Amino acid sequence: MKIALMMENSQAAKNPVILEQLNTVTAPMGHSVFNVGMSDENDHHLTYIHLGIMASLLLNSKAVDFVVAGCGTGQGAMMSLNIHPGVVCGYCLEPSDAFLFNQINNGNALALAFAKGFGWGAELNVRYIFEKAFTGERGQGYPLERKEPQVRNAGILNEVKAAVVKDNYLDTLKSIDQELVKTAVTGERFQQCFFEHCQVPEIAEYVKSLI
């Protein structure tokens, strides 16, 4: 699995801590982590709005399989990511949230709170969240006897979202303020991850046209 970690400006200073915990959990599983957001407070400036654009590009182009994002509360990042087609983002404050999202909703992104409740032992909570998010087979339901309706409802929700967002994916991107999109794709580490792993040439050409 290819996992993108993206941090925005208000919590960029915590990037080394979050990246270390994510790598600690996922490296033994054979997953690859791409640190595509801000790595410190002086890095390429991003807001949670940019994170939604970045996540949508990476997931819809199949450059990555999963996105870990967040902001101070995690709420803004969750809303920003969920606006976009092809992105199903859960809100995660504790390990049980990650486990239940993994088993019931089986989405492709998580939004964490990197300020609210981020105190003593916060790095342990983050590590345990990642353990529950990336361990075991996904979409098995909880409790187990609820698997069938949960899988069915998750599929229906995806169909509803696809029906609501009727435009071509690239048309939706082009309808956004292009300066916002350009800022989102200008980061060097984002570009490296995107262009090395993008599997949809049309999306790659669009990003190239911006930079």
pLDDT of residue 38: 97
pLDDT of residue 162: 82
pLDDT at 93 over 80: yes
Total structural domains in the chain? 1
- Band (pLDDT 50/70/90 cuts) for residue 80 is very high
pLDDT of residue 165: 76
pLDDT of residue 144: 87
CATH of the domain at 99: 3.40.1400.10
Ranges 38-42, 124-128, 136-140: which has the least confidence: 136-140
For residues 182-210, give the mean pLDDT. Answer: 97
pLDDT of residue 190: 98
pLDDT digits (tens, 9 = 90+) for 29-68: 999 999 999 999 999 999 999 999 999 999 999 999 999 9
pLDDT digits (tens, 9 = 90+) for 155-192: 898 888 888 876 789 999 999 999 999 999 999 999 99
Helix and strand numbers, DSSP H then E, in the chain: 10, 5
pTM: 0.94
pLDDT of residue 112: 98
- Per-residue tokens: 156: 């229906």
Helices (H), the chain: 15-26, 48-60, 75-82, 95-100, 122-134, 147-164, 169-174, 178-185, 188-197, 201-210
* Host domain of residue 146: 2-210
